[in-house]
A and B are shown apart, each in its own frame.
Chain A
Amino acid sequence: MSNPTYTAIFYLFAAITVFSAAFVVFSRNVIYSAFSLLFTFFGIAALYVFLSADFIAVTQVVVYVGGILVLLLFGVMFTNNIMDTDLKTDVLHAIPGTFLFLGILAALLFTFYTTNGWMPSDTQLQGSVVERIGFETMSRYVLPFEMASILLLAALIGAAFLARYDNGGTNEH
């Protein structure tokens, strides 16, 4: 990965991610924030590709762009008067905020510099990642997997219950 092309592409995606994330926070227009989130999600997906985690990268695009971002945009567009409300992006508590920022930055940098070498895994990656993920979810992590599916099923049933017409009920209006 010492190829200058890869380095250039990495910094390009890192810059896209950081600047679009900053735009999400600082924009006064909630629609622009939502659309800017698209570039943030894509930048993060590209960074996953640089970590050789292409399955996670594609999942990131499917779940965040295809699901959450579209839901967010629909929510914003169907809310009345959303374009009239001015979002507050002022600086409210300058001094505590600066301390918090510096503290978090110091903690992150401390962890980054004191961690001795980023350990590569003992077992080398062999063959397709997708196959490994499939085997692991169906064997070692089958309980969390099933619990997540039960949670999603409950959410689906709840959504269908909330959205259906109230036929035969006592209150017709």
Chain B
Amino acid sequence: MGNSLNAWSDALAGFQPAGLPLGLLIIAAIPLVFIALYALTYGVYGERKISAFMQDRLGPMEVGKWGILQTLADILKLLQKEDIVPTSADKFLFVIGPGVLFVGSFLAFAVLPFSPAFIGANLNVGLFFAIGIVALEVVGILAAGWGSNNKWSLYGAVRSVAQIVSYEIPAAIALLCGAMMAGTLDMQQINILQSGTYGFAHFFLFQSPIAWLPFLIYFIASLAEVNRAPFDIPEAESELVAGYFTEYSGMKFAVIFLAEYGSMFMVSAIISIVFLGGWNSPLPNIGPIALNDMTTGPVWGAFWIISKGFFFIFVQMWLRWTLPRLRVDQLMYVCWKVLTPFAFVSFVLTAIWEIYVP
């Protein structure tokens, strides 16, 4: 591969001018900058444009050519806004809510391998950490919803938490199928096991005849975990104004949105790492034309994992503007009576396949 595994992040971790761990701070800052940039460009502007085209509209067109500067104008507006804390709100919880929420969505980026040469922390429990750290987001949502001292906020928070806690179960079992195929929870190892000269044929999705089932289950459950349509009942505009962030404005609102876009990329990256090869190139070597070798490397790895993540975010946006919202009871029905049993079935079938079929 030319460069050894984690070459960039190891070099950064060793970068300690005057004994200060500056390199570690840079490692932590890279995903942060990435979230901010992607949320501004693809997240906000892209979503508005995509939704507009799907509904046969033009979307933002006024600020700049094709409305490209619209997001910058929005940011300027958000920065200037007065930072309002409602008088009857619980000041402390109202303020820490968005912070805890953002930290929860950002912590998972520590174990995402952005390239063969870059990962924040190469834990041997990486996948488990990424599933488990969502718990912090739950507490942040509850703090925001309770702290706002508003009926809609509290309803939204309770719905959101019930949904996240329930859908963690099928999501975790579905990812366990992928972990079983890999035999490890180490994110870089999972990626390495899916690399090969045939490109996409080495991805876990195409390695077993059952893998599409956990893939589909995790995709559906991940939509619910990030509160995206058709599972966006926590912020159902027609019932709850805006759910747990009804009372938020200005920068606190922006932080909540950054957290949401962060989680969207996080689940998209996890599904592409576990089932679609992460930073591996999907192109196969065709005889003398070594497409796979040409498109493999640290920079290409970053390109592939980010484009796979963006593809799943596009599917999330597409679904949002296509499907109607579920009711609360339908949501719980889908989770407990459809997804969870099928997740167990796929778990057993994957285990049988892994044991008896080499």
A and B bind: yes
Separation of A74 and B164 alpha carbons in the complex (Å): 14
Q: Are A66 and B124 in contact (CB under 8 A)?
A: no
Q: Are B135 and A61 in contact (CB under 8 A)?
A: yes
Q: Are A32 and B132 in contact (CB under 8 A)?
A: no
Chain A nearest Cβ from B193, distance in angstroms? 14
CB neighbours of A42 from chain B (8 A): 136
Q: Are A65 and B124 in contact (CB under 8 A)?
A: no
CB neighbours of B154 from chain A (8 A): 77
Chain A nearest Cβ from B37, distance in angstroms? 28
Separation of A34 and B344 alpha carbons in the complex (Å): 34
Chain B nearest Cβ from A71, distance in angstroms? 9
Q: Are B93 and A35 in contact (CB under 8 A)?
A: yes
Given known pairs A4-B19, A5-B21, A61-B132, the reply for A130 and B139 (CB within 8 Å) is no
Q: Are A38 and B100 in contact (CB under 8 A)?
A: yes
Cross-interface CB contact of B123 among A38, A54, A59, A73, cutoff 8 Å: A54
1/0 per residue B113-141: CB within 8 Å of A?
00000000001110011011111101100
Q: Are A55 and B138 in contact (CB under 8 A)?
A: no
Q: Are A130 and B135 in contact (CB under 8 A)?
A: no
Given known pairs A61-B132, A66-B132, A70-B135, the reply for A128 and B186 (CB within 8 Å) is yes
Q: Are A70 and B184 in contact (CB under 8 A)?
A: no
CB neighbours of B92 from chain A (8 A): 32
Interface assignment of A104: CB less than 8 Å from any CB of chain B? no
Chain B nearest Cβ from A149, distance in angstroms? 14
Q: Are A128 and B135 in contact (CB under 8 A)?
A: no
CB neighbours of B232 from chain A (8 A): none
Interface assignment of A129: CB less than 8 Å from any CB of chain B? yes
Interface assignment of A58: CB less than 8 Å from any CB of chain B? yes
Cross-interface CB contact of A58 among B125, B143, B186, cutoff 8 Å: B125
CB neighbours of B138 from chain A (8 A): 65-66, 70
Interface assignment of B176: CB less than 8 Å from any CB of chain A? no
Given known pairs A5-B21, A54-B123, the reply for A65 and B142 (CB within 8 Å) is no
Chain A nearest Cβ from B102, distance in angstroms? 15
Q: Are A129 and B124 in contact (CB under 8 A)?
A: yes
Chain B nearest Cβ from A137, distance in angstroms? 15
CB neighbours of B100 from chain A (8 A): 38
Which secondary structure dominates chain B's binding surface? helix
- Contact residue range for chain B? 20 to 34
Interface assignment of B165: CB less than 8 Å from any CB of chain A? yes
Q: Are B139 and A73 in contact (CB under 8 A)?
A: yes
CB neighbours of A62 from chain B (8 A): 128, 131-132, 135
CB neighbours of B128 from chain A (8 A): 55, 58, 62, 130
Closest A-chain residue to B133, C-beta based?
A61
Interface assignment of B185: CB less than 8 Å from any CB of chain A? yes
Interface assignment of A69: CB less than 8 Å from any CB of chain B? yes
- Contact residue range for chain A? 20 to 34
Cross-interface CB contact of A31 among B93, B158, B168, B186, cutoff 8 Å: B93
Cross-interface CB contact of B165 among A31, A58, A70, cutoff 8 Å: A70
Closest B-chain residue to A128, C-beta based?
B124
Chain A nearest Cβ from B10, distance in angstroms? 16
CB neighbours of A67 from chain B (8 A): 135
Separation of A59 and B136 alpha carbons in the complex (Å): 13
1/0 per residue A109-127: CB within 8 Å of B?
0000000000000000000
Interface assignment of B146: CB less than 8 Å from any CB of chain A? yes
CB neighbours of A32 from chain B (8 A): 92
Chain B nearest Cβ from A10, distance in angstroms? 14
Chain B nearest Cβ from A5, distance in angstroms? 5
B8-22, CB < 8 A from A: 19, 21
Closest B-chain residue to A62, C-beta based?
B132
Cross-interface CB contact of B135 among A5, A35, A66, cutoff 8 Å: A66
Interface positions of B (Cβ within 8 A of A): 19, 21, 24, 90, 92-93, 96, 100, 123-125, 128-129, 131-136, 138-139, 142-143, 146, 154, 158, 161, 165, 168, 184-186
- The 5 A-B residue pairs whose C-beta atoms are closest, nearest first, are A66-B135, A62-B132, A65-B135, A128-B124, A5-B21
Interface positions of A (Cβ within 8 A of B): 4-5, 31-32, 35, 38, 42, 54-55, 58-59, 61-62, 65-67, 69-70, 73-74, 77, 128-130
A-B contact pairs, 21 of them (CB 8 A): A4-B19, A35-B93, A35-B143, A38-B139, A54-B129, A62-B132, A65-B136, A65-B139, A66-B134, A66-B135, A66-B165, A70-B139, A70-B142, A74-B158, A77-B142, A77-B158, A128-B124, A128-B184, A130-B125, A130-B128, A130-B184
